[in-house]
Amino acid sequence: MLYQESGNGDMSTVKKNDPLNWELAADSLKGSYFEEVRRMVDENRNPVVRIGGENLTFGQVMAVAKPDKAVRVELSEAARERVKASSDWVLESINKGTDRQGAALQSELIRFLNAGIFGNGAEGCHKLPHS
């Protein structure tokens, strides 16, 4: 909220357009360090991590990353539709041969990381053919 003086000493509330959600970000930082750590520990102990595509907390990442803990990850249906649409767009762009930042990088990384796995060892060089 933004407060503006009306000239007679009255501080009335003026709603300001916040397209970058700075106010929401500032509100999320309110509270003590102890409360934040306690919230992360509680999220870490949760056996189910629900991902909706809006935010991902450090506690959720910790819960999934722990090798000794079996955590089930659930993806919301709304997020599933967005992931599918994004995946379809990337595949369509690759099939058309359109260079897209990230998609071209992924295909080149796959080519690079698979280099050397072909052949029987008699050849001097194990490389994938150029695309």
| pLDDT per residue as tens digits for the range 4-16 | 555 555 555 555 6
* Structural domain count, the chain: 2
Q: Is the distance from CB of 56 to CB of 49 less than 8 angstroms?
A: no
Which range marks the domain in which residue 33 is found?
A: 28-75
Residues 70 and 90 in one domain: no
Residue 99 lies in a domain: yes
pLDDT band at 92 (very low <50, low <70, confident <90, very high): confident
Residue 88 lies in a domain: yes
Residues 66 and 95 in one domain: no
Enter the tokens of residue 17: 């357009």
pTM value > 0.85: no
Helix, strand, coil shares, percent, the chain, to 5: 45, 10, 40
Residues 69 and 32 in one domain: yes
Q: Which amino acid is at 98?
A: T
Residue 57 lies in a domain: yes
